Amino acid sequence: MLDKKVTELINVQINKEFYSAYLYLNFANFYKSKGLDGFSNWYMVQAQEEKDHAMLYLKYLQNNNEEVILDVVEKPAISMEKLIDPLKAGLAHEEYVTDLINTIYDAAQNVKDFRTMQFLDWFIKEQGEEETNSHELITKMELFGTDPKGLYMLDNELKGRVYTPPSLII
């Protein structure tokens, strides 16, 4: 049986991961409307990853005989005018998610819940990758995004991203 606070935080995290998927679908739609299919693809893959993250947390609670509480997923309310806006909002969101995961880890550590801490290790590593990817996209957009040829090449690069399901065993 998991600590009550840890269980509550993981249930919140499930909702936040589903919100992340909605947010990234919103970004994908924005880029699709701008004719940037590669950027759209990149965020479609992101959305799938976030949905799977939610499902991993959900399965973790189920495997520990804890109640899963699904909450309402908010509609994303991010203003997007410039092509870089979703990228910057995405980085800020990933930093927020990192903080949420660190909060769960801290709660688990306080009650010496080593199994949950080990489970969260994968997500902590994943968040480092997510933040790095977000930084790199912003850097590339700042370098090449104002040049039509550069933007075209960057968009084509992002078309090549494919979804790879997480290999985390819970």
Quick one: DSSP state of residue 6? H
Q: Tell me the residue type at 38.
A: G
Q: Which of 166, 6, 18 is closest to 97 using CA atoms? A: 18
Number of neighbours of residue 126 by Cβ within 10 angstroms: 18
> Using CA atoms, how far apart are residues 122 and 117, in angstroms rounded to an integer?
9
* Beta carbons of 29 and 82 less than 8 angstroms apart: no
pLDDT at 65 over 70: yes
pLDDT at 169 over 80: no
Look up residue 150 and give its two tokens: 């550069």
Q: What pLDDT band is residue 137 in, cutting at 50, 70 and 90?
A: very high
Please state, for a pLDDT cut of 70, what percent of the chain lies above it: 98
Q: What is the arithmetic mean of pLDDT over 116-126? A: 97
Quick one: DSSP state of residue 143? H
Specify the pLDDT at position 165.
83
Q: What is the arithmetic mean of pLDDT over 94-114? A: 98
- Locate all alpha helices (DSSP H) within the chain, ordered by sequence: 4-33, 37-63, 85-110, 114-144, 148-159
